[in-house]
Structure 1
């Protein structure tokens, strides 16, 4: 590997390995498995020159998406499933909740990035099922303020999700 390539690979590692590793550990709780996912993610980025030419934020978002897909693929792989034979079949089938768990984690992280004022309005509206009037009464603020915070809070939430590679 020429010195220039080694320097570029080192810069890629320095810029992105830490955040990607923390993200994977947050998703899986497996510190040693996170090393493998980070290595594969960096390798895929290295093999995709157009990604390296993008700005660092786009590269990081792409890498978060790749890492998430690697984690999901690993969780669904036959290697991870431990089949146990029994005399009787299970009473009912259980749906795989992997995607919904990852989605909940991503939404939680994106909500944490909102300001408190925006987060409390968005959470009350979408998780609490409250109307604009009910939120305004509960928070003792005008309805127009609730509408404004809801609009800008959802906008910031969408941007936070885009940074994590969830939406376009």
Structure 2
């Protein structure tokens, strides 16, 4: 069975062995992963730490699918807020950065 493109474009393809959960996480990553990773990298200053934050944020999205409700922009902002919160938990320096930005 070949992977068929979803309604949002060829980037988001359903892989034949994906469970519904895997498909959800893959769709979130395909749609928002680059922005989430870029933001996490800025906040942490460290690519490996940013990747950890991204993984934690994807797990959060999987556990709390309500955060994925709404239009693309609203979902993106919610996910970036999760990234910010997770990054600030990791590093006191990031916490200071977030407090200064508020």
> TM-score when scaled to structure 1?
0.45
Aligned residues between the structures: 86
In the alignment, structure 1 segments of 5+ residues that lack a partner are: 77-95, 107-165
- The answer as to whether partners of 2:57 and 2:79 remain within 8 angstroms in 1 is yes
Structure 2 residue ranges without an equivalent (≥5): 1-16
Structure 1 runs of 4+ aligned residues shifted over 4 Å read none
- Aligned alpha-carbon RMSD (Å): 2.4
Measure, in 2, the Cα distance between the counterparts of 1:62 and 1:9.
15
Q: Would you say the 8 A contact 1:46–1:52 is kept in 2?
A: no
Work out whether residues 40 and 83 of structure 2, in 8 Å CA contact, stay in contact via their aligned partners in 1: yes
Deviations 1:85-136 (A, max 9, x none): xxxxxxxxxxx7843x2355x5xxxxxxxxxxxxxxxxxxxxxxxxxxxxxx
Cα distance 1:103–1:39, how it changes in 2: closer, same or farther (>3 A)?
same
Per-residue deviation at 1:10?
1.2
Aligned match of 2:56: 40
Residue in structure 2 matched with residue 156 of structure 1 by the alignment: none
SS at match of 2:48: helix
How far off is 1:6 after superposition? 2.6
TM-score normalised by length of structure 2: 0.69
3-state secondary structure, aligned to 1:5: helix
Partner of 1:128: none
Structure (1/2) with the larger strand percentage: 2
Q: Which has the larger radius of gyration?
A: 1
Q: Distance in 2 between matches of 1:35 and 1:26?
A: 12
Residue from 67, 80, 83 that aligns with 2:83: 67
User: CA 1:22–1:97 in structure 2 vs 1: closer, same or farther (change >3 Å)?
Assistant: closer
Cα shift readout 1:23-57 (whole Å, capped 9, x = no counterpart): 01111210001111000001101111212222221
